[in-house]
Amino acid sequence: MPDRAPISINSPEIPDRLREVAGVDWSALAVDIDSGGVLFELDAERVCDTASVGKIFLLHRLLAEVDAGTRSLEERVTRRPAEWMDNSGLWYLLQQDELSLYDVAALIGAVSDNAATNTMVRVIGLDAVREHTRELGYQHSGLDDCVRWPIPPGYPATLSHGSAAELVRFCTRLARRQDLSEASADQLQRWLGAGTDLSMVASAFGLDPLAHYYFDRDIWLWNKTGTISTVRADIGVVMTPTRRIGYAVLANWGSGRQVRDAVLAAMREAGLAIRRQLVG
């Protein structure tokens, strides 16, 4: 990417728009990856429940092991009955119980597959993922557990947690091909670029939800989202041929509050601010 002058905070309305949604805790940040300029920011250091977003650290650890030569993406794994989960994902609808680690990771990146996540956590090890995340310098973000429902007493109440500041840092370093080999960084972005959930920040870009890895309307996107009844979270990188913006917009609210539509509308406004910066 060419050198660019730092951008100014030219979207001050975005923090105000997020604050308008009563009863929601936000952590939000968008930055120009190449200049470091901040597009908008609101409580970026706040740690939030991020639902499935923390699966990025699982995929990152997998590829770090590939880079170290201790793991092959061609390795075959079999899903165990205890790892079966429905709802988020596709594997629970498939007949095949055995897949390559590559295919398991692709399911996680594309459809946030819960069964695939549970199998991958068993193979890689949750402790290894946590240690890897800390070694990368993320003190307030990480994967807390595999996917359990209902959550038994004594287990983490959240699947993952994070702050917008750290998650934008993750996206920025991945876009710059830091911490992984170039091939592995490209592979992780490709898995995330297959993500089908464009309901939040990414809704503003008007992309095909099934085919947006490469330029469409001069926009290229990869992202990871997280959703439960009290969480909406969207992180990623959106780029044109001349500019890259990394973003994280996280929203948490109390059980029983009817704010989802307002949260999604506010997240779309954040996406529109990014789009205006990219393509006018």
For the chain, the average pLDDT equals 95
User: Lowest-pLDDT range, 4-13, 92-101, 103-112, 216-225?
Assistant: 4-13
| pLDDT at residue 200 is higher than 60 | yes
Rounded mean pLDDT, 10-26: 91
Over residues 231-263, the pLDDT tens digits come to 999 999 999 999 999 999 999 999 999 999 999
Rounded Cα distance, 79 and 105, in Å: 13
Q: Lowest-pLDDT range, 4-13, 174-183, 197-206?
A: 4-13
- pLDDT the model gives residue 2: 44
pLDDT above 80 (res 9): no
pLDDT band per the 50, 70, 90 thresholds, residue 1: very low
Per the CATH hierarchy, to which homologous superfamily does domain 13-279 belong? DD-peptidase/beta-lactamase superfamily (3.40.710.10)
Where do the structural domains in the chain lie, given as residue ranges? 13-279
pLDDT band with cut points at 50, 70 and 90 for residue 219: very high
Position 212 scores a pLDDT of: 93
Measured CA to CA, the distance from residue 184 to residue 65 in angstroms comes to 10
Q: Is the pLDDT of residue 5 over 60?
A: no
